[in-house]
Structure 1
């Protein structure tokens, strides 16, 4: 079954297709969640919440805006960050670098997940060092823009502008 066929079945609220989706992506999402939370039980709870969100919000996924894996990865990342903030964790001590994030995805046993992860590290490494640092803080370590501003000791507006420019540059690299 292709991913498109699987998504069609899930749109129809087919529970068997959803189970297959869980089997395909749960290990990758759990790895990302665990590396943010550093707690097995909390990570399992957040993973369950993530799949409930996927089930309830599937109609908001737009394949023209990005790949499905990226969409669910963002749901997992955001849910993990929400959990961290609700517990007042210190992000700078609880997260991994982008190199470790890519390593987790690259070594997942699912072929589909490996295909989604191929090249992430290479694309990010093509960016300017300031972009690598901003993307690492904002997307892989879960910093807010304000926290990144404080960490980098630059104005908040500069972080916002550089983030926007770095994402634009990454899009250009990906489209080339």
Structure 2
């Protein structure tokens, strides 16, 4: 079944289409979730929540607004960030051993493998250095715009504007 037909079937509530979507996208979606959360069990829970959201919100997907995979990644990214900002998640993190913090710091500094894993590296390489850094911090490391502004030592408004411009440039590279 072709992707467009698969999406139409998903939107009409076809469970077989949903199973096929899960088979096609769950591994890469889990990779994005895990790169933000850095906890296997929690990442698996969020993955299930993401696919539940995909099932429930499938009728709202619009092909004119972007690619299906991008829609899924945005759901995954937002769900992951919501999870790490949740009170329950933060409370669990208070009890972590110090060994875990080495991995967290390493994850904040190196995301090239994550970018390449979903096939975006060649498009991101075409961007200017500031755009590369912004996209890395905002989308692959899960920074908020405020945290990004502090990290780069630039005003929050500048981050918002540059983010919009950079995403438009990335979109034009991909499409």
TM-score class normalised by the smaller sequence: 0.7 to 0.9
In 2, are the aligned partners of 1:33 and 1:47 still within 8 Å (CA)? yes
In 1, are the aligned partners of 2:36 and 2:141 still within 8 Å (CA)? yes
* Alignment correspondent of 1:37: 37
Give secondary structure in 1 for the equivalent of 2:65: coil
* Alignment correspondent of 2:142: 142
With the length of structure 1 as denominator, give the TM-score of the two structures: 0.84
* Alignment correspondent of 1:161: 161
In 1, are the aligned partners of 2:12 and 2:59 still within 8 Å (CA)? no
Give secondary structure in 1 for the equivalent of 2:154: coil
Give secondary structure in 2 for the equivalent of 1:57: helix
In 2, are the aligned partners of 1:127 and 1:169 still within 8 Å (CA)? yes
Aligned residues: 161
* Alignment correspondent of 2:117: 104
In 2, are the aligned partners of 1:30 and 1:44 still within 8 Å (CA)? yes
- The runs of 4+ residues in structure 1 deviating greater than 6 Å are none
* Alignment correspondent of 1:113: none
* Alignment correspondent of 2:68: 68
Deviation for aligned residue 1:154: 0.8
In 2, are the aligned partners of 1:35 and 1:95 still within 8 Å (CA)? no
Mapping for residues 88-99 of structure 1, pairs under 5 Å: 88=90, 93=105, 94-95=107-108, 97-99=110-112
* Alignment correspondent of 2:51: 51
In 1, are the aligned partners of 2:35 and 2:141 still within 8 Å (CA)? no
Deviations 1:46-93 (A, max 9, x none): 000000000011111111111101100111111111111112369x73
Gaps of 5+ in 2: 94-100
In 2, are the aligned partners of 1:50 and 1:76 still within 8 Å (CA)? yes
* Alignment correspondent of 1:152: 152
What's the RMSD between the two structures over aligned residues?
A: 1.8
Deviation for aligned residue 1:97: 3.7
* Alignment correspondent of 2:97: none
- Residues 122 and 104 of structure 1: is their aligned pair in 2 closer, same or farther, counting only changes over 3 Å? closer
Gaps of 5+ in 1: 106-116
Deviation for aligned residue 1:166: 1.3
